[in-house]
Amino acid sequence: MSTQNFNYWTLVLEHLRSKISGSNYQAWFSNIEFDAIGNEGRKLVIYAPSEFHKQYIEKKFNVELRESVNKYYPKVIHLEIRIKEQEKVPKKQIQDSLDLKVAQERKLEKLEVTPTEDREKIASYLPRKNLNNLNPKYTFENLVVIKSNEFTVNLAKGIVQELGTLYNPLFIHSPVGLGKTHLLQAVGHAVLEKNPELNIKYVPSDTFFNQFYLALTKGEAQKFRDFYSSVDLLLVDDIQFIGGKEGFQNEFFHLFNLLHQSNKQIIFTSDRNPKELIGIEDRLVSRFEWGMVTDIQKPDFDDRMAILQDKLQRANLILSPEHTQLIAEKVNTNIREMEGVINKIRAVLNASVDKELSDRALLSVLGQYIKQSAANAENADLLVANPDRINMAVCRIFGITPEELLGSSRKANVAEARQITCWLYKNDLTLSFPHIGRLLGGRDHSTIMHAVRKIEVLIKQKDARIISKVNLVKQFLLEM
């Protein structure tokens, strides 16, 4: 195996890491090994630790893996995943958490000296200087001001006028689909329009973390710091995803202080208010609350009518008042769903001869939507939380087998995995202690109660390791 080829493989893994979630990467790719490249560069052989890994990767990540492979080995046509024989690979335990790894790398990285000229080069994982990642659609012009967002929109407009000094940071929270990302980027556009010279960065928090992670693995943390400490306006979307990522939170804490002290504006969005964030250090939570915390509420009927009318008009669609009202009444979850329904209606109208929407056609679109949202609500429960899925996720994250989980092993790692399983059964499935005991290999209800309490206490005490584990399992459940 040439060093060159092996180096390419590490690049493949890094690339892949930026494409899929941290927990998926950790669970499925952290122990994949490069074997050989042959047949004049057309065949790549890698090793997976088990048949299960191989099948899962082939089923779920085929496209991503091939893309990443072809980026660095453009000639590869045939990708073979072999199973590493057990005795050859001591089963690697899944890392304690992504964060411990980050922490270790942080230590390593401190010892390395980054040559200055290297720092000057633009890192491939950071956006180019003149790119701010703003979606041209998300402007104030396209944002309908309604009762449920008026207060927050006004705060945001105030910030455009007095960048860095009015409310800093601004923290916007709401459930999904109510326009947080849109508003966040609208501020970016408006600030740029006023002053095109300013350095503005929009970044979803998981991308932010990935950039940091890659910077660390390349020993380029300073490059990351330089990049973000020079911004005038930092727009961080969905900050809740940094929960449990301690190493990153530490880095971000310093960045925040630096920017804040020099009156650089920071705006966050989140799916919940700062107090309800899980696995985020107190000192960061308190900083989130320094400026102004504000929310966007669910639109009521009048708000939904206003949004609909605006969207229909922009799409050049003419509906009768009765139809518009019916849509506003039925599609009451969020604005993204409303856009979905409008798109369907547009498609129906395009296909119709007389370009008029019949009652029947509208009812069919609405019927599909109602069925779909009911199914989503049901599936969300079914899919995310059932005992088998929880077991599987816990096993993956802890690197143990289902037999170990349900059996009597007292190894610390296994015992902890079992306790977290109990807590998830209780918390997410609201099962009774005896029921949980039966599901977990016939354990006594008092044992279960003890386990659940133990995790509860640790979470209350903000035990970073447990919280990070729970978060990894939960994230994994959502993605598997």
Distance CA 247, CA 400 (A): 25
Q: Which does 174 bind (CB under 5 to 8 A by kind): ligand ADP, Mg ion, none?
A: ligand ADP
Among 24, 31, 132, 174, binds ligand ADP (CB under 6 A): 174
Total residues belonging to the chain:
480
CA 382 to chain centre: 21
Residue 5 amino acid letter: N
Distance CA 335, CA 65 (A): 34
Distance CA 45, CA 81 (A): 6
Angle at 386 between CA 92 and CA 421, to 5 degrees: 50
Among 15, 84, 180, 218, binds ligand ADP (CB under 6 A): 180
Q: Are 429 and 387 in contact, with CB atoms under 8 Å apart?
A: yes
Position with the least CB separation from ligand ADP: 179
Please, what is the angle between helix 464-479 and helix 98-111, to 10°? 120
CA 207 to chain centre: 8
Among 179, 274, 291, 399, binds ligand ADP (CB under 6 A): 179
Angle at 387 between CA 382 and CA 389, to 5 degrees: 70
Which residues 229-258 are close enough to bind Mg ion by CB under 5 A?
none
| Element at 110 (helix H, strand E) | helix 98-111
Which residues 105-144 are close enough to bind ligand ADP by CB under 6 A?
143-144
Give the alpha-carbon dihedral of 271, 277, 282, 287, to 10 degrees: 10
Q: Are 475 and 21 in contact, with CB atoms under 8 Å apart?
A: yes
Is 149 or 240 the residue whose CB approaches ligand ADP more closely?
149
Among 121, 194, 336, 411, binds ligand ADP (CB under 6 A): 336
Q: Taking the CA atoms of 110, 116, 117 and 121 in sequence, report the sign of the dihedral they define.
A: positive
Is 118 or 339 the residue whose CB approaches ligand ADP more closely?
339
Among 23, 24, 149, 391, binds ligand ADP (CB under 6 A): 149
Pairing of strands 33-38, 43-48: antiparallel
Determine how many CB atoms are found less than 10 A away from the CB of residue 132: 21
Residue 391, interface with Mg ion (CB under 5 A)?
no
Is 182 or 426 the residue whose CB approaches ligand ADP more closely?
182
Is 181 or 265 the residue whose CB approaches ligand ADP more closely?
181
Distance CA 110, CA 286 (A): 28
Which residues 266-325 are close enough to bind ligand ADP by CB under 6 A?
307
Is 296 or 436 the residue whose CB approaches ligand ADP more closely?
296
Residue 181, interface with ligand ADP (CB under 6 A)?
yes
Q: Minimum distance from CB of 190 to ligand ADP (Å)?
A: 15
Is 180 or 469 the residue whose CB approaches ligand ADP more closely?
180
Q: How is residue 15 written in tokens?
A: 């690339």
Which residue reads 């995790």 in tokens? 455
Among 126, 170, 178, 397, binds ligand ADP (CB under 6 A): 178
Q: Are 284 and 256 in contact, with CB atoms under 8 Å apart?
A: yes
148: closest CA among 337, 302, 342?
A: 302
Piece of 117-125, 178-186, 191-199, 368-376 that binds Mg ion (CB under 5 A): 178-186
Is 109 or 237 the residue whose CB approaches ligand ADP more closely?
237
Q: Which does 149 bind (CB under 5 to 8 A by kind): Mg ion, ligand ADP, none?
A: ligand ADP
- Name 49's bridge partners: none
Distance CA 466, CA 238 (A): 22
Q: Minimum distance from CB of 300 to ligand ADP (Å)?
A: 13
Is 307 or 366 the residue whose CB approaches ligand ADP more closely?
307
Among 24, 68, 181, 334, binds Mg ion (CB under 5 A): 181
Which residues 339-358 are close enough to bind ligand ADP by CB under 6 A?
339
Q: Minimum distance from CB of 183 to ligand ADP (Å)?
A: 7
Q: Which does 258 bind (CB under 5 to 8 A by kind): ligand ADP, Mg ion, none?
A: none
Among 127, 158, 164, 177, binds ligand ADP (CB under 6 A): 177
Distance CA 394, CA 406 (A): 12
Piece of 98-106, 170-178, 317-325, 414-422 that binds ligand ADP (CB under 6 A): 170-178
**Binding region for ligand ADP (CB under 6 A):** 143-144, 146, 149, 174, 176-182, 307, 335-336, 339
Task: Give me the residues that bind Mg ion (CB under 5 A), please.
Answer: 180-181
